[in-house]
Amino acid sequence: MSKEGRYARQTLIPGWDQKKLNKSTAIVVGVGAIGSYVATILVSSGVKNLILIDFDTIEISNLNRQLLFRDKDIGKSKSEIAAIRLSELNPDINISFYHEKMQNVPISIYKKSDIIVACLDTFIGRRWINSLAVKINKPLILGGMFAFLGDVQVVLPKKTACFECQPLVAERELAQACTPFGEEREKDRKDKEEEAKLPSVATLSAIIGGIMAQEALKLLLNIGEPIKNYLFYDGLHNATTIIELARREKDCPTCGELYELEQVEFVVNKNNTIKELLVQLGLQFGLENPDIMIKGKILPHDSKIQELGIRNNMKVFVMDKNLASPIKLKLKIE
C-alpha cells in the first residue's frame, strides 16, 4: 500500500496541497485534553514534523478526555507517552517531545516551527506563549475550555489582535487548569494552596481541539480564511459566537508599535523604592511579578531610586514570567 493512499481522501479537497504538509513543522504546547485531539489530527493529516511540549504527568482524572493515554500510563510524562502513541498512529511523521516547562525549551526550537498551537490551561501560560510567538513572528492558535464552554483565537503577529490585545478571557474561568496538576507540575508550584477542580468534558476537548487543528491546517496550507476574531462556543446550546477583536497597534505591551521602540518613556519619582516602581509597572503593563534590570543587574526591591544612581533617560529592562522578552523603557526621573 502506498504512503500517499493514507491521505487520498483529503487531497480531493480543492486547494489541498499535501506536499506543503510534508514539509511543515508544527509545535503543540500542552498535550492534555485539547492538545491530544490537536496532535492526533495533525499527525493523521500528514504534518511531517511535530514537536510536543508538556511538563506535566498523567493523572487518572485525565483519562475521561485525553485520548492518547491509558491506565498504565498514570504517573508518566504526557509528552513522551503522546509521542509514542502518535508514532504508532502514523509512523511516517517525525515526532519529538520535550518534557520541560515551555519557558525552558530553547527559542531555537520554536523558531523551527511554521505554527504554534497552544493548548494551555493557565492564563499566565497563554500570556507567555503569546509574547514568544509575537517576538519570533510565528502564527499562534490559542484555545481553552471550561465545562461546556470553549474559546479559540488565532494570532497572526502584527496582523491580528494578540492575546494581550483582547480583554475577553477571564482569568478565573476559560484560562484555568481543568484538572489537578500532575506530579511534576505540583512539585514546581510555589503556591501550595489546594487547586480548584474545574469541570471538563470530552466533547468540548474534541470540538475545540478540532477547530484549533482545522485552523492550523488552513494556515499551513494557506487555504480558506483563518479566524481573525474571538470564537466562543457554548456546548449547552450548541451556539457559536464570533466576537470582533481590534488590534491595539499602538499601546499593546506585546505587539504594539510603542513597545517595539527602545525610547518608551516612563516617569518615576526619585524618592520611590524599586518595589513601588514595580507596582506601577505591574499595573501599567499587567505584569505579575516584575523585576528591573540595569546593565545586567537585577535592582534590589527595597532600595530607593535615587540611592542606586539611576539617571534621567537611563535605559532599563522590565522582566516578568508573563513575557518572553523584556519591555525596554527609558526612565524620566522627577
What whole-number percentage of the chain has pLDDT above 70? 85
Provide the 10 A C-beta neighbour count for residue 9.
9
CATH 3.10.290.20 residue ranges in the chain? 261-333
d(CA 325, CA 266) in angstroms, rounded, equals: 18
Mean pLDDT on 242-246 = 87
- Identity at 320, one-letter amino acid code: D
| Residue 230 cell numbers, joined | 474571538
Answering whether pTM is above 0.75, one says: yes
pLDDT at 173: 41
Residue with cell 492558535: 141
Which carries the bigger pLDDT value, residue 334 or residue 199?
199
Q: How confident is the model at residue 175 (pLDDT cuts 50, 70, 90)?
A: very low
- Cα separation of the two ends of the chain: 75
Task: Give the chain's mean pLDDT.
Answer: 84
pLDDT at 15: 92
Q: What Cα–Cα distance (Å) separates residue 140 from each residue in 70, 113, 132, 305?
A: 29, 11, 10, 39
> pLDDT tens digits, residue range 23-77?
999 999 999 999 999 999 999 999 999 999 999 998 998 888 888 999 998 999 9
Q: How confident is the model at residue 176 (pLDDT cuts 50, 70, 90)?
A: very low
pLDDT at 168: 62
Q: Nearest-5° angle of CA 54, CA 120, CA 192? A: 80
Is the CATH number of domain 3-243 3.30.300.130? no
The alpha-helical segments, DSSP class H, found in 169-255 are: 183-188, 202-221
pLDDT at 180: 42
Q: Is the pLDDT of residue 7 over 90?
A: yes
Mean pLDDT on 266-286 = 79
pLDDT at 187: 55
Q: Is the pLDDT of residue 255 over 80?
A: yes
Mean pLDDT on 202-215 = 96
CATH 3.40.50.720 residue ranges in the chain? 3-243
Q: How confident is the model at residue 237 (pLDDT cuts 50, 70, 90)?
A: very high
DSSP state of 75: T
* Highest mean pLDDT pick, 63-77, 300-314, 316-330: 63-77
Phi, psi of 217 (to 5 degrees): -65, -40
- Identity at 65, one-letter amino acid code: R
Q: Is the pLDDT of residue 297 over 90?
A: no
> pLDDT tens digits, residue range 123-171?
888 888 999 999 999 999 999 999 999 999 999 999 999 988 876 644 4
> pLDDT tens digits, residue range 130-139?
999 999 999 9
Q: What is the CATH number of domain 261-333?
A: 3.10.290.20
Q: What Cα–Cα distance (Å) separates residue 322 from each residue in 6, 119, 164, 265, 286?
A: 41, 16, 11, 21, 9
Lowest mean pLDDT among 16-25, 131-140, 254-263, 296-305: 254-263
Residue with cell 481522501: 9
**How far, rounded to the nearest angstrom, does the alpha carbon of residue 211 sit from its chain's CA centroid?**
16
Strand 115-118 and strand 94-98: the pairing is unpaired
Provide the 10 A C-beta neighbour count for residue 60.
11
Which candidate, 277, 279, 310, 305, places its Cα nearest to that of 294? 310
On whether the CB atoms of residues 119 and 150 are closer than 8 A, the answer is no
d(CA 108, CA 110) in angstroms, rounded, equals: 5
Q: How confident is the model at residue 178 (pLDDT cuts 50, 70, 90)?
A: very low
Q: How confident is the model at residue 191 (pLDDT cuts 50, 70, 90)?
A: very low
| Residue 130 cell numbers, joined | 503569546
pLDDT at 58: 86
> pLDDT tens digits, residue range 94-121?
999 999 999 999 999 999 999 999 999 8
d(CA 125, CA 118) in angstroms, rounded, equals: 9
